[in-house]
Amino acid sequence: MGIKYVETIYSPGTAVYKEDGIIQRAPFYGVLDGLSAPYSPSHPPILFDGQTDGEVVVDFIRSQFYNPLLVSVGIKEILINANQQIAEFHAVLDLNDAGQLSGAGLAIAEIGENEISIMQAGDCFIAAEYQYGMIMTMENRAYVHDKETNKLFSQILARYNGDKGAAWDEFVGPLAEMRRQDINVQYAMLNGQESFWNCVQQASWPLAELERIMFFTDGFGLPGLNLGDTKFVASLMLSCYNDGSLRGILDTVRCNEQTRSSNGHVIGGQTETTAMVVEFE
């Protein structure tokens, strides 16, 4: 059973910094979603040759998957190398404090002869559809964290009468504390911490009769979706893909984006989105 084709789509939206990434180097396929240390207008991000720390981490991870010295190494070994590189990048920081560390969520598959090995972290999604109708997905362990942080930001934003810059200036402190409590405790984030391995989701799915597998960052989710119900999200996204390809889903996201709550540092604009579909023969 071989790969028929791979379709990818990326849209930066109005994001100032481009923190998503794509892995497409056989046998590895998937997406990355960088996470910068909390910042705001009054506490701007520290840049490294023009990049945020979230962008730097994504580049570290991608470079490991494309490293010619690692062509015969499995997905876990590659991520171990990437995590070590990220830890070295954070050498001047306290690795026990997830609230100040940059990192990345991910949804990546290693496609073997008979099965697919999966790694998932953060709020990236992965879903597989089989010929006999079965859909495989993974739990969104970051859902509660995302829901609580969005709720708190909305409350702060209301106090500042919609001034998102002022709201972010207040929000960076509580956000760091919430990350400190949840990252690599409730959900995984590749940020240099060894505790990542206690939280990352891993699975092996059969390759036989697999029709397609989809990977996407949270910005690609359709407006109004309960991203905690991953089975429903997976079914809907695969159905939408069958009806109109990745471009059709992205167009729907963009048309309805004004109904979504403010997301991250995309203030009053469009989210950065990345998706990939691998179709099998």
Confidence of residue 224 (pLDDT cuts 50, 70, 90): low
Query: CA 37, CA 101: separation in Å to the nearest integer?
Result: 5
Lowest mean pLDDT of 149-163, 176-190, 207-221, 247-261, name the range.
247-261
**Of 133, 138, 97, residue with least CA distance to 119:** 138
Percent pLDDT > 90 in the chain is 76
Give the pLDDT of residue 223: 64
**Of 242, 258, 4, 226, residue with least CA distance to 133:** 242
Query: CA 181, CA 17: separation in Å to the nearest integer?
Result: 26
Lowest mean pLDDT of 202-211, 258-267, 271-280, name the range.
258-267
Give the pLDDT of residue 220: 85
* Terminal-to-terminal C-alpha distance of the chain: 6
Mean pLDDT of the chain: 92
Give the pLDDT of residue 73: 93
Do 164 and 174 contact (CB within 8 A), yes or no? no
- Residue 259 pLDDT exceeds 70: no
User: Which residue is it, tokens 């998937």?
Assistant: 30
What stretch of H or E contains 178? helix 164-182
- pLDDT (average), residues 168-191: 98
Confidence of residue 180 (pLDDT cuts 50, 70, 90): very high
Global confidence as pTM? 0.93
The residue type of 226 is N
Beta bridge partners of 205: 116
- Residue 236 pLDDT exceeds 70: yes
- pLDDT (average), residues 149-177: 95
Q: Quick: pLDDT tens for 108-143.
A: 999 999 999 999 999 999 999 999 889 999 999 999
Task: List, in order of start, the domains of the chain with CATH numbers.
Answer: 3-280 (3.60.40.10)
Q: Quick: pLDDT tens for 43-81.
A: 999 999 999 999 999 999 999 999 988 888 999 999 999
